[in-house]
Chain A
Amino acid sequence: MFRKRSYEQKFYDVAKSTFSALERNSLDVVVCVKHVPETAEAELKIDSSGKSIEKTGLVFDINEWDDYALEEAVRIKEKQGGTVTAITIGSQDSESTLRKCLARGADKAIRLTDPKFEGSDAYATAKILHSTIKTLHYDLILCGLQSGDDGNAAVGPILAELLGIPHATMVKKLELATGTAKVNRELEGGLEEQLEIRLPALLAVSTGINEPRYVSIMGIRKAMQKEITVKTLADTGLTENDVGTAGSWTTIDKLYVPPVEKQAEPIKGTPDEIATKITEIIKSRGLI
């Protein structure tokens, strides 16, 4: 039966749709980033402490996975408005990664730093991030699935649990709707699963979810004028026991170069000599 809607009901409907439109248009995104050494093609040495690698000579940049998270955050802002806040834990050096975030389109940047943070594992790291993120307004938190150095793949889900919001990791595709998001998670062997997740949520993204853009010189110059908020342990409301090795689940005993499981036979010589030997090997196997 058709029922005539009251004036109040119509008013309510209009207000509701306006509100949801506003909601849709103003997604505040926090993106967690880490400043890490690029090691994919570098030869690494263990330092004298035995608990870290020799960092001199290594080039530092934004963690590869976080680069994709940052790009995703900036794309959301460009598409539907809102803000992007980049947050990191690290020394003065890590400001270059925050500058990169600002140049790419982040509005605000926060650096959490304290000598007491040294030795923090994934758990302590998540607690430090939580102490600040809980004071911000956010609809979405994006981070990389893992870092190229520690490779724990744990900070995101721990942070989500501390914040009491849902999360998804290994996110390869993200579609936002009002109050929810549809995400594709990578499973093994190319298979994906699609989930619906309620916002606010934390998503830990995989590489390849987008194509991170290059930053123009102009963008970097402009970003130099933006301010980076710096906070220390005293500003976080945490104690010494919450952070660093004291606040961690795991502590590093020692680092070592993995033992060689199988000794490959070296092929040496000039490029021509090497090429000849490879050709002989392939030929001897009847493969050409």
Chain B
Amino acid sequence: MPKILVLAEHRQNQLRDITLEMLTKAREIAQKTNTGVTAIVLGNNVKEHAKALAEYAQAVITVEDPRLENFNSETYKTVLTKLIAEHKPTLIMIGHTSYGVELAPRLATALNTPLATDTIDLNYEANTLTVTRQMYGGKVNVKATLRKSETYMVTVRQATFTPQKPQPPTNGQIIATPSSLAEEPTAKRFLQYVLPPPGGVDITAAEKLVGIGRGIKDQANMPIIEELAKTLGAVLACSRPIVDKGWLPNDRQVGSSGKTVKPKLYLALGISGAFQHVLGMKSSDLIIAVNKDPKAPIFSFADYAVVEDLFKIVPSLKNKLNEAKTQKA
């Protein structure tokens, strides 16, 4: 059995992007180390997913059970512990997603397998796994080595690797495996999905967005930003801290736990550029970022960088925009 295991992630019949991203990176490591990739998919009816995965992996293990229909770290742990003990992989890859964060640390502890979380790069050489990850909200990168082990586990950051289907597709073997779940989980039960309440403003439809972050500092500063947005004819959006503080409703949030936007202009004010936020706005046509910290990660994704206090820029910018509009009129 190929020695790199990738746990497929799916929700409501959709295979999630992270799965193919991981399979692509897994294939790269497998080629270097002369092994192959096995995808594991747990669920109720996963035959379609298995077919899709077989184009990327040499083997696809499916475990079908009505009790695996919705993700639950308890049932996943039970089934995976057994599968991993049987297959003895060298590396287990799980997404650093809301599912992976729930599952991987607990599974690694149960298996006594060294784990590195939220990795953005992996290097496996001479039976040693080294990883790259980030600290301090993406301001610092760290290279770390895992304790020597027969089996390693990592969680992988979303949108870090670009999915590439092998040419020709792999046509991997699909191996249906009986579920090892003995009984209904009682410690933790899935009840239902809760949809976000429909918002008043659709930031994904806006042509221009003014995105604000922690650098706004005080709710009292909101009006001057709102005026700027109005002058520019832009819609106000934000990073997570602004929603957490209750300064803007959550339908304005850009990022992995909010919306993905692609406006013609994204003016980022006081946003440091944590990965979760960048994921939601990096595809904008034009990004202009204003931040005091010259090393703010946002500048790696921006087209134009203004290293300055946003409160010095905003009033001037409002005036200049007004002048430009009057000239035009």
Chain B residues contacting A145 (CB-CB under 8 Å) are 101
Query: Would A258 and B313 count as touching, CB distance under 8 A?
Result: no
> Which of B30-38, B163-171, B257-265 forms contacts with chain A?
B257-265
Instruction: State whether the Cβ of B316 lies closer than 8 Å to any Cβ in chain A.
Output: yes
A193-B193 in contact given A44-B139, A53-B140, A153-B117 (Cβ < 8 Å): yes
Q: How far is the CB of A238 from chain B (nearest CB, A)?
A: 16
Q: How far is the CB of B273 from chain A (nearest CB, A)?
A: 11
Query: How many angstroms from the CA of A252 to the CA of B115 in the assembled complex?
Result: 13
Instruction: State whether the Cβ of A253 lies closer than 8 Å to any Cβ in chain B.
Output: yes
Query: Would A151 and B118 count as touching, CB distance under 8 A?
Result: yes
Q: How far is the CB of A191 from chain B (nearest CB, A)?
A: 6
Query: Would A170 and B187 count as touching, CB distance under 8 A?
Result: no
Of B146, B192, B244, which one neighbours A193 at CB under 8 angstroms?
A: B192
Chain A residues contacting B11 (CB-CB under 8 Å) are 187
Instruction: State whether the Cβ of A29 lies closer than 8 Å to any Cβ in chain B.
Output: no
A43-B303 in contact given A53-B136, A170-B102 (Cβ < 8 Å): no
Q: How far is the CB of B271 from chain A (nearest CB, A)?
A: 10
Greatest chain B CB density within 10 A among A145, A162, A169, A206 is at A169
Q: How far is the CB of B191 from chain A (nearest CB, A)?
A: 4
Query: Would B300 and A261 count as touching, CB distance under 8 A?
Result: yes
Query: Would A285 and B194 count as touching, CB distance under 8 A?
Result: no
Q: How far is the CB of A264 from chain B (nearest CB, A)?
A: 4
* Interface 1/0 per residue, A191-203 and B, CB below 8 Å: 1111111100100
Query: Would A271 and B272 count as touching, CB distance under 8 A?
Result: no
Query: Would A152 and B118 count as touching, CB distance under 8 A?
Result: yes
Q: How far is the CB of B6 from chain A (nearest CB, A)?
A: 19
Residues of chain A at interface, number, CB under 8 A: 84
Chain B residues contacting A288 (CB-CB under 8 Å) are 232-233, 321, 324-325, 328
A253: nearest residue on chain B (CB-CB)? B143
Query: Would A250 and B232 count as touching, CB distance under 8 A?
Result: no
Of B186, B208, B300, which one neighbours A262 at CB under 8 angstroms?
A: B300
Query: How many angstroms from the CA of A148 to the CA of B140 in the assembled complex?
Result: 12
Query: How many angstroms from the CA of A19 to the CA of B74 in the assembled complex?
Result: 29
Interface positions of A from 132 to 151, Cβ below 8 Å from B: 145, 148-151
Chain A residues contacting B286 (CB-CB under 8 Å) are 281, 285, 287
Query: Would B319 and A185 count as touching, CB distance under 8 A?
Result: no
Chain A residues contacting B192 (CB-CB under 8 Å) are 193-194
Q: How far is the CB of A251 from chain B (nearest CB, A)?
A: 6
Q: How far is the CB of A285 from chain B (nearest CB, A)?
A: 6
Query: Would A188 and B256 count as touching, CB distance under 8 A?
Result: yes
Instruction: State whether the Cβ of B176 lies closer than 8 Å to any Cβ in chain A.
Output: no
Q: How far is the CB of A118 from chain B (nearest CB, A)?
A: 16
Q: How far is the CB of A176 from chain B (nearest CB, A)?
A: 15
Chain B residues contacting A154 (CB-CB under 8 Å) are 101, 104-105, 115, 117
Query: Would A196 and B135 count as touching, CB distance under 8 A?
Result: no
Instruction: State whether the Cβ of A276 lies closer than 8 Å to any Cβ in chain B.
Output: yes
A187-B98 in contact given A161-B106, A261-B301, A267-B304 (Cβ < 8 Å): yes
Of A44, A170, A287, which one neighbours B98 at CB under 8 angstroms?
A: A170
Query: How many angstroms from the CA of A161 to the CA of B116 in the assembled complex?
Result: 17
B114: nearest residue on chain A (CB-CB)? A249
Query: Would A274 and B137 count as touching, CB distance under 8 A?
Result: no
Query: How many angstroms from the CA of A53 to the CA of B135 in the assembled complex?
Result: 10
Instruction: State whether the Cβ of A283 lies closer than 8 Å to any Cβ in chain B.
Output: yes
Instruction: State whether the Cβ of B221 lies closer than 8 Å to any Cβ in chain A.
Output: no
Query: How many angstroms from the CA of A244 to the CA of B89 in the assembled complex?
Result: 27
Chain A residues contacting B74 (CB-CB under 8 Å) are 166
Query: Would A42 and B117 count as touching, CB distance under 8 A?
Result: no
Count, A-B residue pairs, CB within 8 A: 285
Query: Would A161 and B295 count as touching, CB distance under 8 A?
Result: no
Query: Would A151 and B137 count as touching, CB distance under 8 A?
Result: yes
A266-B305 in contact given A154-B115, A248-B147, A253-B145 (Cβ < 8 Å): yes
Query: Would B144 and A256 count as touching, CB distance under 8 A?
Result: no
A53: nearest residue on chain B (CB-CB)? B140
Query: Would A252 and B191 count as touching, CB distance under 8 A?
Result: no
A287-B146 in contact given A257-B140, A274-B316 (Cβ < 8 Å): no
Chain A residues contacting B215 (CB-CB under 8 Å) are 41
A265: nearest residue on chain B (CB-CB)? B304
Query: Would B145 and A251 count as touching, CB distance under 8 A?
Result: yes
Q: How far is the CB of B294 from chain A (nearest CB, A)?
A: 7
Query: Would B313 and A274 count as touching, CB distance under 8 A?
Result: yes
Interface positions of B from 104 to 160, Cβ below 8 Å from A: 104-106, 108-110, 114-118, 130-131, 133-147
Interface positions of B from 272 to 321, Cβ below 8 Å from A: 272, 285-286, 288-289, 292-295, 297, 299-308, 312-313, 315-317, 319-321
Query: How many angstroms from the CA of A201 to the CA of B193 in the assembled complex?
Result: 21
Query: Would A168 and B141 count as touching, CB distance under 8 A?
Result: no
A258-B297 in contact given A154-B115, A252-B142 (Cβ < 8 Å): yes
Interface positions of A from 15 to 57, Cβ below 8 Å from B: 39-44, 46, 53
Chain A residues contacting B321 (CB-CB under 8 Å) are 279, 282, 288
* Interface 1/0 per residue, A156-178 and B, CB below 8 Å: 11101110011111100000000
Greatest chain B CB density within 10 A among A43, A170, A255, A287 is at A287
Q: How far is the CB of B216 from chain A (nearest CB, A)?
A: 11
Chain A residues contacting B317 (CB-CB under 8 Å) are 274-275, 278-279
- 5 closest Cβ contacts across the A-B interface? A275-B316, A208-B244, A264-B305, A249-B114, A190-B196
5 contacts between A and B (CB under 8 A): A157-B109, A166-B188, A253-B143, A267-B306, A288-B328
